[in-house]
Structure 1
Amino acid sequence: MEEKQLSDSINLARQLFLEGNYVESKRLCLEILTKRPEDLNILYLLGQISWELGSKEEAVSYFIKCTELNSHAVGAIRYIGIFFFEKKEYKLAIQSFLSILSHKPDIISYQMLSIIYLLLGLTDESFTYARNACSLDPKNKFLVQQMLINSLFCDKLNCKDIFDLHLEWMDRQVESVTLFRSPQLSSRYLDKKIRIGYLCHDTFKQSVSFFFEPVIKNHDRQRFEIVIYATYPEEDTYAQRLKTYVDFWRNVSSLEEKEIAEIVYQDKIDIFVDVTGHTAPGSNNKLLAFAYKPAPIQMSWLAYPATTGLRTIDYRITDEWADPVGMTEAYHIEKLIRIPQGFLCYQPEEESPEIAGAPCESNSHITFGCFTLQAKITPEVIRVWSSILQSIENSELHLKYKHFQNPDVRSAFLERFTENGIEESRIRFLDFQPLYRDHLACYQHLDIVLDPFPYNGTTSTHEALWMGVPVITLTGNDHRSRVGVSILTRLGLADLIADSIEDYIQIAVSLSKDKERIQELRRTLRLKMLNSPLTRAKEFTTQLEAEYSRLWKAFLETEA
């Protein structure tokens, strides 16, 4: 090929790639490569084409050639990092993204490192990289939500830090948002029912469903009209069941936030409740619909254990134990509404395994455990748990969460335990169980559950107690660190609530020596739960509805 013909061919190959004609673009690139075997641009384009065609191994071979020609080939290194991330080879992915950052700031590298370090339980590092990503693109709502979630796992951030962070970054997100016009109250006065709209991502079977379904199922349909705005695109049997409890179901997963707000406004929703907060991933997160203020009263409840940071959300549903009066108001932009029975209610699995005897009855050692999100098990938590294990001879710790199936994740956690003087043989990772009944059965292998901090477990705590396993929690100064307090207090187990790290360790040591108490709790905890506010769904829903009615009446009186 002559030089001009070669240049034209390169431009054509790029154009074909942009048009999605990958096969013809690749044919042309390979032809060019015979003339220019070390052309960096053609090698990179071939890598991109192979990637789009699904031949990622081949793509990486081209990208590696790019890095051999130019060690600063950021695009190629980024692809290599993503390749290793998708293969869940996290340590190799880290190397790629750190290599890029050694040359220049890079938003994707920051974001990917934040995700990986959270998987590995390095929460402070994860937050730092998330914040770096946001600094490069402060209007990117997905990056901001990732950073805000990551802040909840951090040891180094205090309550005020987390509040200030949420407020600062959510204010930036809504700078250009125009509030909707005022509702037509005349039509609302005539309605016999209060219209409640729930914006929810968790309309599939997972942890939040154990607390959301009992409320939806027990709403008084004579007094309330219920609408669910589902942001999860697919519908499983759980979603089909939820549909039978509500008046209207709208799948809004494909809509933008302003479009959702317009629908909510047109539906004349009186009280609009967010169930998800910042926890829904990527495009499924529609929290900013609340920024348009489509309903007269807007609330946050259930999944997110902190302020949303949105000034247009009026209230947050909680209780006196998770948010004691005078303690946490300063950390919320929302006004706190405390439900007397507690801020949530648990619906146990119908086909739960039978209670088995505590393993310490036949073993010569105590088995501790934690089956919650690995990101909650921070380096500080590992340090404290290691002190407990060192204080109790031959004791073991069983960890269970889906990400622990990954060798790099297990290795990272084991390394931190060994740094704290605990042999690897005393830490066991249990297999992921796709069937929920089998998952619950794994609690039969535990004597005591250790609640992480500062971000407590919620579903995992209820599961453990339901299976007869006592849970020890450490109290903090905000909602995320007081969920354990709320649960255990309502169950009459305040003696398992620690006020300090020293107290937390002492309670664990004392309980481990009291085999009779462990066995007694094993036999009685399930019945205790059934007779406690934790599972009284009808009573909880009635109290929640009373607050809805009170707030709606007050609003009408104010607007009259």
Structure 2
Amino acid sequence: MSFPYETDWENNADKLLLSEEYASAAKIYEDKILVEPNVKSHYWKLGILLLLQGQELEAHFAWSLGIGEATLEEVNEWTEDLCKLLLKEALRQEDLKRYRNAWLIRQHIREIDTDNFDNLVQIIYLSLHLKILTDELIQDLKILEILELNHSGTNIENNSVLQLVQNVLASDLNYELQLEIVSLTLPYIKDVSCFIELIAPIAYKLSDVNLEIATKFINIGLKISPNNQELIGYLVGFYLQYQQFSKALEVARKATSRNDNLINKILADFCLLNALVSAGGRWEEILSVSQHQKTLLPLLDYQNFNDISSHLFISRFFAPYIDDNPKDIRVNQNQISSLCLEKVQQVYQQPVDYFKSQNLSKRSNRIVKPLKIGYLSNCLRKHSIGWLARWLFSFHDREQFQIYGYFLNYHQNNSDHLQEWYSKQVYKSYRVGIESIGSTLDICNQISQDGIDILVDLDSLTYMNSCEIVSLKPAPVQVTWLGFDASGIPAIDYFIADPYVLPESAQTYYSEKIWRLPQTYIAVQGFECGVPTIHRSQLDIPEDAVIYFTGQRGYKRHPDNIRLQMKILKNVPNSYLLIKGVSDANSTEELFFRLAESEGVDCDRLKFLPLTMSELEHRANLTIADVVLDTYPYNGATTTLETLWMGIPIVTRVGEQFASRNSYTMMLNAGLVEGIAWTDEEYVEWGVKLGTDSQLRLEITWKLKESRKSAPIWNARQFAKEMEKAYQQMWEIYTN
């Protein structure tokens, strides 16, 4: 952008400005001032050229010469003209990404027009780019006073306020100052949804490092949007993350009493279920809320969607924990996921069309070497998924496959060595974390630009962002593996399973094509183990007693299953049950004690263990158990593999759904059939048998130790080959 010249000398000065020959351009204006001393614009433009050379005092002198002995009215008129020219040059410098020059010019605009809010916001934006934004600079700009006092004549536009919020939240300013600024912007916000889109991600990302600040940000959002289920969901999740179960329940229950439409009602029920099952023990209320939510689902249709609600993807997340009824649960999930996908694709119609055209262009590439495989997850760290998926990453054939990692919720500068390990195993990584907020479209564009052939979603319904990303279909072939049961999102082509974890009949209620690997859908090379930190004597358990163990989160503590465990204890004299897992201690103990008393079991035989400091310590402490009792209708997965690796007998109840057949396939693939129950009665029988037959326990332990040599579940190298073969076949199907 240039000054509006009309003569040759002005054109010459303009060209010199554009070529950054500021001294030569300034000389032209100095000469013109001698000829035309009354033309004020010459002084303004000369001052700008001097300013661009770093001659601030000289620039001020030129401007003051221009003003001279002017009247107040003339001064106001001329300074307004000067401000306009300064603003034009500042914008030009910003377009050229010369942020230092733009920042300097805007500081001079500020001296002339102190309360120009737009200019102050842009100074903050430029300071952020220049990495000079500090608490002191904010105080010096007096942005807080302007927001708080709303000076007479101050024009504060919604877009400027939103830009201010965005810049402040992207900065390293003190959290309390950020909160104060954001809170003061509330009276000026007209676009509430955009404001929430700025608040929610930063609050989520701060929740891992500062719960108090994260909740304060959410509460600011709730002031302007009190029934926003997304914010309420975040707040409930934050409290659960820090095991503040009573606060989570309080927020969730309040939300259910004030919802105002169908979507909000479904999401409010989800939030309350999240709090209830996480705390554990409150099963009457859990069943009631789940049934209420289920009655709302048939009313759901496309017309109910006013905008994207990522939480809706996972609104039925807890159904498999409550009931083993996959035909019903999968139909509901498929319906919800299909509706959500339609809305997401409508909102992102243009990029969806672009990704589709890019994907179709790959059909002609019948031979791709190496295949580009992208893994999408927020769990490639110290997490169950992280511990299990690492073996596939270790044994991938880098000549045949180029591996990309899309790390959601990535934490910089922490002690998570597993996360760092993953980032080094990939050809290229894209990290979205506390320090960098990547939108759904940003991540999808990256996947498309990287030319990913097969995108593997490890999160499924455990992470809302992943649901949105795969819905846009940025890769030609998309697969769900490992993280959870299938998502039901129509943009997913395959769900990886094996012959045991899903029966043949399952395809009738899955929208994805079930791709069964020949033996097992997961294999590991083993687990690291530490040193035990508990002993029978510490727990007042006799040396000759039989110890049962169950270790799961509150989610999986179904009362029907606990009742079966009490029956086992009742029929095995001198036996004890160790209980461990994240949940509300009081309500969990109350549930177990109540069911123990109902079955005639002395509550002193129940021992509640604290959480351990590390996974290595947890695995070592498993050796105190004689028998592990699995949960139902939602089995263990990582916990089952750890139990088998440590050589401990396990009793599992096999059901119909994916979640109730995990332990079954893992035990079979470890060469073990002892402990597999197909009914509640068999579950109790196996529990009693393994508790009373010490010789059988020894035989199972020996069998499990021997299985490490050849069983499919421990042959991660062979498993990697089977996964890679599946990828190649999927690609062949796509390109043929």
Q: Please tell me the TM-score bracket, short chain as reference.
A: 0.7 to 0.9
Output the amino acid matched with 1:164. V
Of the three residues 516, 539, 552, the one matched with 1:338 is: 516
Q: CA RMSD for the aligned pairs?
A: 4.0
1:26-105 alignment runs, 5 A limit = 90=245, 94=249, 98=253
For 1:14 and 1:411, the matched residues in 2 are separated by 54
CA contact (8 A) 1:377 1:452 kept: yes
Moved more, 459-468 or 346-355: 346-355
- Whether 1:554 aligns to 2:733 is yes
1:221 aligns with 2:398: yes
Q: Residue 490 of structure 2: which of 297, 311, 315 is its match?
A: 311
How big is each residue's C-alpha offset from its partner over 1:196-233, in whole Å with a ceiling of 9 and x where there is no partner?
A: 11111111112112221100111101111111111122
Distance 1:327 1:271 in 2: 26
Query: Are residues 1:262 and 2:442 paired?
Result: no
- Structure 2 residue 305 is the aligned partner of structure 1 residue 127: no
Secondary structure (helix, strand or coil) at the match of 1:255 reads coil
Which residue number in structure 1 is paired with residue 311 of structure 2? 143
Distance change >3 Å, CA 266–CA 132, structure 1 → 2: farther
- Is 1:200 the counterpart of 2:411? The answer is no
* Residue in 1 that maps onto 2:459: 276
Distance in 2 separating the partners of 1:448 and 1:239: 33
Whether the 8 Å contact between 1:307 and 1:331 is mirrored in structure 2 is no
Instruction: Quote the residue 2:418 is aligned against.
Output: 238
Give the AA of the match of 1:220.
Answer: D
CA distance in 1, matches of 2:508, 2:402: 33
Partner amino acid for 2:462? T
Give the partner amino acid of 2:610.
D
Residue in 1 aligned with 2:692? 513
Per-residue Cα deviation, 1:399-441 (whole angstroms, up to 9, x for no partner): 111336x434433443444444433322211111112221112
Cα gap change, 1:508 to 1:529, in 2 (>3 Å): same
Task: Return the TM-score normalized by structure 1.
Answer: 0.78
Partner of 2:487: helix, strand, or coil?
coil
| Counterpart for residue 642 of structure 2 | 463
Amino acid at match of 1:256: S
2:335 is aligned with what amino acid?
A: E
- The Cα offsets for residues 302-333 of structure 1, whole Å up to 9 and x where unpaired, read as 111x2211111111111001113x22112211
Q: Does 1:171 align with 2:338?
A: yes
Structure 1 SS opposite 2:511: coil
* Counterparts of residues 454-493 of structure 1 (less than 5 Å): 454-493=633-672
Contact 1:124-1:154 at 8 Å conserved across structures = yes
SS of match in other structure, 1:195: strand
Q: Say whether residues 1:152 and 2:320 are aligned partners.
A: yes
Q: In structure 2, what is the Cα distance between the partners aligned to 1:486 and 1:89?
A: 35
8 Å CA contact 1:472, 1:498 repeated in 2: yes
Q: Whole-Å Cα distance in 1 between the matches of residues 460 and 543 of structure 2?
A: 43
CA drift of 1:127 comes to 3.4
SS state of the match for residue 495, structure 1? Answer: coil
Partner of 1:425: 604
Per-residue deviation, 1:347: 3.5
1:143 Cα offset (Å): 3.1
Q: Report the Cα offset of residue 260 of structure 1.
A: 1.9
Residue 370 (structure 1) shift: 1.3
**Which has the larger displacement, 384-393 or 92-101?**
92-101
Deviation of 1:164 after TM superposition, in Å, equals 1.2
Q: TM-score with structure 2 length normalisation?
A: 0.60
Question: Over residues 311-369 of structure 1, what are the superposed CA-to-partner deviations in whole Å (9 max), with x where a residue is unaligned?
Answer: 11111111001113x2211221111111113000124223455999999x973432111
What do the CA deviations read for 1:477-527 (whole angstroms, capped 9, x no partner)? 121111111011112211321111111111111121111121333345234
Larger CA deviation: 334-343 vs 92-101: 92-101
Looking at structure 1, the residues matched to 309 and 530 of structure 2 have their Cα atoms a distance apart, in angstroms, of 39
Paired with 2:327 and 2:244, the residues of 1 have a C-alpha distance of: 36
Q: Partner amino acid for 1:154?
A: I
Native 8 Å contact 2:566 2:599 kept in 1: yes
CA contact (8 A) 1:275 1:302 kept: yes
- Amino acid corresponding to residue 550 of structure 1 in structure 2: Q
Q: Secondary structure at the match of 1:380?
A: helix
Structure with higher RCO (Cα < 8 A, 6+ apart): 1
Do the aligned partners of 2:321 and 2:633 also contact (CA within 8 Å) in 1? yes
CA drift at 1:473:
1.0
Native 8 Å contact 2:533 2:621 kept in 1: no
Change (3 A) 1:308 1:523: same
Aligned length: 497
What are the Cα deviations for residues 57-108 of structure 1, in whole angstroms up to 9, with x where unaligned?
A: 9xx9xxxxxxxxxxxx999xx9xx9799798564576467657756776868
* Alignment partners' CA distance in 2, 1:22 and 1:548: 48
Matched AA of 1:271: I
Contact kept, 8 Å, 2:243 with 2:583, in 1: the verdict is no
Give the conservation status (yes or no) of the 8 Å contact 1:301–1:317. Answer: yes
Counterpart residue identity of residue 336, structure 1: I
CA deviation vs aligned residue, 1:431-459 (integer Å, no higher than 9, x gap): 11112221112212211111111111011
Q: 2:328 aligns with which of 156, 161, 174?
A: 161
Report the AA paired with residue 319 of structure 1.
D
Call closer, same or farther: CA 1:132–1:237 in 2, change over 3 Å. farther
Distance in 2, Cα, partners of 1:356 & 1:104:
47
Find the residue that maps to 1:147 and give its secondary structure. coil
The residue that corresponds to 2:467 in the other structure is 287
Residue number in structure 2 paired with 1:391: 571
**Which protein shows a greater Rg?**
2
Greater alpha carbon shift after TM alignment, 249-258 vs 125-134: 125-134
Determine which of 613, 616, 622 is the counterpart of 1:434.
613
Q: Once the 2 structures are TM-superposed, how far is the Cα of residue 554 of structure 1 from its aligned partner? A: 2.5
Matched residues in 2 for 1:533 and 1:433: separation?
A: 30
**Displacement after TM superposition at 1:259 (Å):** 2.7
Cα distance between partner residues in 2 of 1:244 and 1:269 = 18
Residues 357 and 444, structure 1, Cα contact 8 Å, conserved in 2: no
Q: Which runs of 5+ in 1 are unaligned?
A: 1-11, 27-51, 61-72
C-alpha contact 1:114 1:129 (8 A) present in aligned 2:
no
1:349 to 521, 527, 530: 527
Does the 8 A contact of 1:273 with 1:301 survive in 2? Answer: yes
Distance in 2 of aligned mates of 1:25 and 1:536:
53
Q: 3-state SS of the aligned residue for 2:383?
A: coil
Q: Provide the rounded CA distance (Å) in 2 between the counterparts of 1:55 and 1:194.
A: 41
Q: 1:296 to 1:423 in 2, by over 3 A?
A: same
Give the aligned residue type for 2:550. Answer: C
What's the offset of the Cα at 1:468? 1.8
Q: Secondary structure at the match of 2:462?
A: coil
Distance 2:599 2:338 in 1: 41
CA deviation after TM superposition for structure 1 residue 131, in Å: 6.0
Question: Is structure 2 residue 348 aligned with structure 1 residue 181?
Answer: no
Closer/same/farther in 2, CA of residues 351 and 245 from structure 1, 3 Å limit? same
CA distance in 2, matches of 1:402, 1:346: 25
- Specify the alignment match of 1:32 in structure 2: none
Larger relative helix fraction: 2
Offset, 1:278: 1.0
Distance 1:90 1:357, change over 3 A: closer
Cα displacement (A) at 1:146: 4.1
Is 1:297 matched with 2:473? no
Work out whether 1:117 is the aligned partner of 2:292: no
Q: Match of 2:505?
A: 327
1:370 to 2:550 alignment: yes
Query: Is it true that 1:541 corresponds to 2:710 in the alignment?
Result: no
